[in-house]
Amino acid sequence: MDARTETLEFQAEARELLRLVIHSIYSNKDIFLRELISNASDALDKLRLEALRTPDLHVDASDPHILLEIDKERRTLTVRDNGIGMSRDEVVELIGTIAKSGTAELLQRLRESRDAAASQDLIGQFGVGFYASFMVADKVTLLTRRAGETQATRWESAGEGSYTIESVEDAPQGTSVTLHLKPEDKEDHLFDYADPWKIREIVRRYSDFITWPIRMAAEGQADGDAPAVETVNSMKALWARPRDEVTDAEYHEFYKHISHDWTDPLETVRLQAEGTFEYQALLFIPSHAPLDLFMREHRRGVQLYVKRVFIMDDCEALMPEYLRFVKGVVDAQDLSLNVSREILQHDRQIQLMRRRLVKKVLATVKTMLADHPDRYRTFWTEFGAAVKEGLVNDPDNRDAILDIVSFASTDDPEEVTTLRGYVERMKDGQEHVYYLTGASRSAIENSPHMEAFRAKGHEVLILTDPVDEMWVESVPEFGGKRFQSIAKGQVDLDDEDTAEADREKRREDFAPLLTWLTETLAENVKEVRLSTRLTTSPACIVGDANDITPTLERMYRAAGQDLPPIKRILELNPEHPLVTGLRDAHAARTDGTDLTGLAETAELLYGMALLAEGGELADPPRFTRLLADRLAHTL
């Protein structure tokens, strides 16, 4: 029997490392209890395994559990388990590691390490979880006896200058950690951890799905009553149970619990990965979008568990921004409990999980589109604008996203269409998927750019979300059909037999006018040309094939980006009386007659085209005055 008692001093480097652990890794002090319960759960797991491996080992495995004891008068909280326990050597190795030689070297490596994962490995060598206790306790006492042994060990420290370790008798199997709690300090987010209600709340939040029962004194128990305990965790890890053992109602209740939503989810997504890297996921697609879906401070991501131990809310590394509405749980088997958000961003296993989760969610939506069109319609109405962000930000999954996106179009005033549906309805010989972006469906449908397409029966996608201005610039095609804005580049909808002959004649007739207008409107446009996209309007403004749209230009400028002025093209309808009249009037003044009046008419023509597409006049008062003068001359 070894009754040695030792008092050892922490080195200066060890004290610095302890401060780093307590103040830098954890900002939420509540998680100290999660760490202690996780350690206790591990001890129970090890006892179960040891009992199976060594049947003749004399251990008590009849009622494995974790017990939380609160003494309000002494202000102590004890976390007790009847698991595997530790020997004195194991206490030194596992709990006293922080005081072992080599601390200075490891601390130096930690300072120098620029790799987040390497830093995590170094920190992990110091039993970080246990030392989180010092965030809330002035002193920590650990009492433990390994299963199958008779001698116990007590370790005690105030987390500053020294710690003691001694051998004792008459301790139960397992480990108890007693925290001598600091006074409450709400400004420092240090709560009253001697309050049973607070402890229950922490357990249900962070450790509800621990496999083993976590017990506490029953609520409402009067002083002097016989001790009675109750289990405060549910021990229900729905994601780990077979699908046929869980009802939809249970899934829906679980979704409401983690999302704080009142309505049932639109879709439940299950995923279980086995092999070298094991994890389970239970994800939910909500039935409506949160009010802050497009706000900068919107919280996104799913909950991350490690071996059923809650690690963090809103784990952004597991879900991309465009799927920020997805809720749920991912439970990994091989991650550290001390993993941080920064480390997760660079963790290879997390990246592999993320890729598979994204593919699973997109595949689920595709199945919904095929099998449950009503639910898909709800999904797209609520989240479509967010999903389209993935066309810009997630090129690896762009094809999968293109398979599930839908758009309003001129084919149906009420229903949206998929791209596949659009391609199937395309006219023979049509080479492009036509679209037009704008502020609203009404503005697009009344745009001059739509006239020839409507007249010839070509379907046009109606894109009204701000993100549409972005993705159409980065997505070249779908199904071999290139996307083509009907407000950019040359559009030829004439019949092949008559197109060339008509063009040549028009070019000859209008060449002098087009040359003069290009010079007259040089401050505003880079070219004036004839149009094939107009049937009733006199003019419209279009961009070159590679120009950004005016809406996108305004978005960039609003974001503080200084863009050079972008001149566009004025197209004229050669069949419109105003244009033919302007041509004739210009031809009649070739003898040097003053062209001031015609120049003002040209300016009005450009202004009308700008207003028709929803643009803004550079000088509205001048435009109004010129228009009033012209109207007056007609009376």
**Closest residue by Cα to residue 420 from 446, 402, 435, 394:** 402
**Closest residue by Cα to residue 287 from 404, 384, 379, 405:** 379
- The tokens describing 362, both together, are 């997109």
597 is in an annotated binding site: no
32 is in an annotated binding site: no
341 is in an annotated binding site: yes
39 is in an annotated binding site: yes
Is residue 177 a contact partner of residue 46, using CB atoms and an 8 Å limit? Answer: no
364 is in an annotated binding site: no
- The tokens describing 79, both together, are 């976390």
Is residue 48 a contact partner of residue 82, using CB atoms and an 8 Å limit? Answer: no
531 is in an annotated binding site: no
41 is in an annotated binding site: no
326 is in an annotated binding site: no
User: Cα(123)–Cα(157) distance, rounded to whole angstroms?
Assistant: 20
DSSP sequence for 99-153: GSTTHHHHHHHHHH---HHHHHHHHHTT-HHHHGGGGTEEEEEEEEE-TT-S-EE
125 is in an annotated binding site: yes
Burial class (CB in 10 A: 0-12, 13-18, 19+), 224: exposed
377 is in an annotated binding site: no
Is residue 420 a contact partner of residue 370, using CB atoms and an 8 Å limit? Answer: no
**Closest residue by Cα to residue 150 from 172, 177, 121:** 172
User: Cα(97)–Cα(93) distance, rounded to whole angstroms?
Assistant: 5
What are the backbone dihedrals phi and psi of residue 588, each rounded to the nearest 5 degrees, phi first? -75, -10
Q: Tell me which H or E stretch contains 628.
A: helix 620-633
Residue type, 457: G
Residue 582's SS3 state is helix
∠ CA 134-138-141 to the nearest 5 degrees? 75
List the helix and strand counts (H, then E) for the chain: 22, 23
306 is in an annotated binding site: no
The H-assigned helical ranges of 321-440 are 341-344, 348-371, 373-387, 390-393, 398-402, 419-425
- Estimate the crossing angle of helix 373-387 against helix 348-371, to 10 degrees: 140
126 is in an annotated binding site: yes
175 is in an annotated binding site: yes
Residues annotated within the binding site are 35, 39, 81, 86, 100-102, 125-130, 175, 341
Residues annotated within the binding site for ATP are 35, 39, 81, 86, 100-102, 125-130, 175, 341
